[in-house]
Structure 1
Amino acid sequence: MTKIDDIFANETLYAARYNEAGDNELKRLQNLWTNPIEVHSFVKKNGGSLLSRYSIAELSKMIFKEAEEIDNILTELKNDPTKKINDFFVPLNDGDSELIPLGKKKGKIINGLTFLRLYAIKIEDNCYLITGGAIKMTKKMGGSGDDTDRERGRLDIWRTDLHKSGVKCKEDFFEFIKKQNEDIGE
């Protein structure tokens, strides 16, 4: 069974915590993206054509810097009530409408060459559920040996489950969380 953790106390950001992981997805990814051994190994295995332009050490350093920047952005969003989490998450696919109910989103740094993605379902304006994330070293999502295929699957499963449970707004989502926690016995 999956649990949903409240990341920000202001009812804007949540993260899934899967049975196989002790941490919620945001914490798990932050730990992964700042682990030198894991990042070095991933870049070495999945760097592809980027390794003709950058060394493994350079790419790893770029990923560490980006992870720190994402953490800073999320901290700012949490602490500054004038900032909106909508500004961080964009539609997963180019051309997707912002109006799609339970839309699939990605959180990423906008400027420059970026690799890190947080994947989320938009419950409503300024309310998101992080379902996972990945280091994405190719233009397209999936098929490159990275984790994006699994993450796309998680997004689809969450979207379907939320839809089947009648989640259309924050209040429905809070009821969904409450029911899930009752089922787990918390």
Structure 2
Amino acid sequence: MEVVSIFAENLYSFRYDGETENEYDRMMDLWTDTEYLREYAIQNDVADVYGFIEDISRCAEVVQDFLEDIIHSRDDLELYFEALQESERKRVTLSLQKGKIRRNKLRLYAVKIDSNCFVITGGAIKMSQRMDEHPDTEMELKKLNAAREYFRSNGVFDEDSFFELLIEN
């Protein structure tokens, strides 16, 4: 598992063992791949497959543009990421986060390292209200918890210790 920079010193992503792409790039590729989206729609009993493909592709562009706008305008990434659960709001560091844009079915999941510093662990198409109600989001929750444990076991507790970990690896 490796942490790679996506945008400057604020947004990072995991590249998992055996993968060629980091999770941010991997998700964006999947969310714009019409064949993948068609198969996904069929597997999830989506009534309007072609409408679903168009909607998800548009949502992927919106997420990408939104994040790029935040980074280029030097706004806080907390405009996009929010606590996954109410209990995570109290955490200053290593809180579990979801990227959310109103009326967008796509979620990027991340661990908040410190103020305005996040590491993406994966993403999913929102197909249910709760994460434990769909296999994809349930898997993303496991990845989030594993990522937090990875950081804890490597002594990450704030932005400084995070950058020390990056230098060591």
Task: Select the residue among 44, 54, 64 that pairs with 1:61.
Answer: 54
**2:37 equivalent to 1:39:** yes
Instruction: Return the TM-score normalized by structure 1.
Output: 0.85
How far apart, CA to CA, are the structure 1 residues paired with 2:96 and 2:45?
26
Are the counterparts in 1 of residues 131 and 138 from structure 2 also a CA contact under 8 Å? yes
Are the counterparts in 1 of residues 77 and 117 from structure 2 also a CA contact under 8 Å? yes
Q: Tell me the residue number matched to 1:184.
A: none
Q: Tell me the residue number matched to 2:129.
A: 139
Task: Select the residue among 80, 85, 89 that pairs with 1:98.
Answer: 89
Displacement of 1:20 in angstroms is 2.0
Once superposed, what is the RMSD of the aligned Cα atoms? 1.4
Deviates most, 158-167 or 95-104: 95-104
The structure with more radius of gyration: 1
Displacement of 1:58 in angstroms is 1.1
Unpaired runs of at least 5, structure 2: none
Runs (4+) of structure 1 exceeding 6 A deviation are none
Q: Structure 1 residues 76 and 126 mapped into 2: Cα distance closer, same or farther (>3 Å)?
A: same
Unpaired runs of at least 5, structure 1: 182-186
What do the CA deviations read for 1:134-157 (whole angstroms, capped 9, x no partner)?
A: 112111113434x21221111111
Using the aligned pairs only, state the percent identity: 33
**2:107 equivalent to 1:117:** yes
Q: Tell me the residue number matched to 1:154.
A: 143
| Count of residues paired in the alignment | 168
How far apart, CA to CA, are the structure 1 residues paired with 2:160 and 2:21?
25
**2:70 equivalent to 1:77:** yes
Are the counterparts in 2 of residues 47 and 137 from structure 1 also a CA contact under 8 Å? no
Displacement of 1:39 in angstroms is 0.8
Are the counterparts in 1 of residues 154 and 165 from structure 2 also a CA contact under 8 Å? yes
Are the counterparts in 2 of residues 15 and 25 from structure 1 also a CA contact under 8 Å? yes
AA partner of residue 92 (structure 1)? L
AA partner of residue 81 (structure 2)? F
Are the counterparts in 2 of residues 6 and 14 from structure 1 also a CA contact under 8 Å? yes
Instruction: Return the TM-score normalized by structure 2.
Output: 0.93
Displacement of 1:97 in angstroms is 4.2
